[in-house]
Each structure stands twice: as C-alpha cells, then as structure tokens.
Amino acid sequence: MTQIEEWIREEGKLLGKAEGKAEGKHEDARNALIEGIEPTIVAKITGLPLTTIQKIKADLTN
C-alpha cells in the first residue's frame, strides 16, 4: 500500500468516526426531547447548537 493510500484510508476512518459521533449526539438529543427535556438543556448536554435542537424538535412534531 502506498503512502497516499494509507493517508486516504486513515482520513476515511477519521471521517467515519466523526460522522458516527455526530449521529449519536443527534440521537441523544432526539431521545432527550422525547422525554420532555427542555431544548436549552439538551443543547448544553449534547454540545449541539440550540437551532439544531429546535429543528430536531420540530421534526418530531411533524
């Protein structure tokens, strides 16, 4: 395997981890909102922007 192939593979792994982490935060936020936790608290706990939490909440009601 060439150095470039190794670099591309490592970048892919890092990107996959970051995407998985973000998906996990969104799922945690969704579950917290379903349980009735206030959006501002969910934002603090997950580290997601309040606007993102509000969008997730709006998606739940649709």
Residue 59 confidence (pLDDT) above 90: yes
Summarised one tens digit per residue, pLDDT across range 46-56 is 999 999 999 99
- 26, 56 in Cβ contact below 8 A? yes
pLDDT at 4: 82
Dihedral angle of Cα 44, 38, 27, 55, to the nearest 10 degrees: -100
pLDDT at 12: 87
Per domain, the residue ranges of the chain are 24-62
Confidence class for position 57, pLDDT limits 50, 70, 90: very high
- 33, 50 in Cβ contact below 8 A? no
Summarised one tens digit per residue, pLDDT across range 16-36 is 999 999 999 999 999 999 999
- How many other C-beta atoms are found inside a 10 Å radius of the C-beta of residue 25? 16
Cα atoms in the Cβ-side hemisphere of radius 13 Å centred on 38: 3
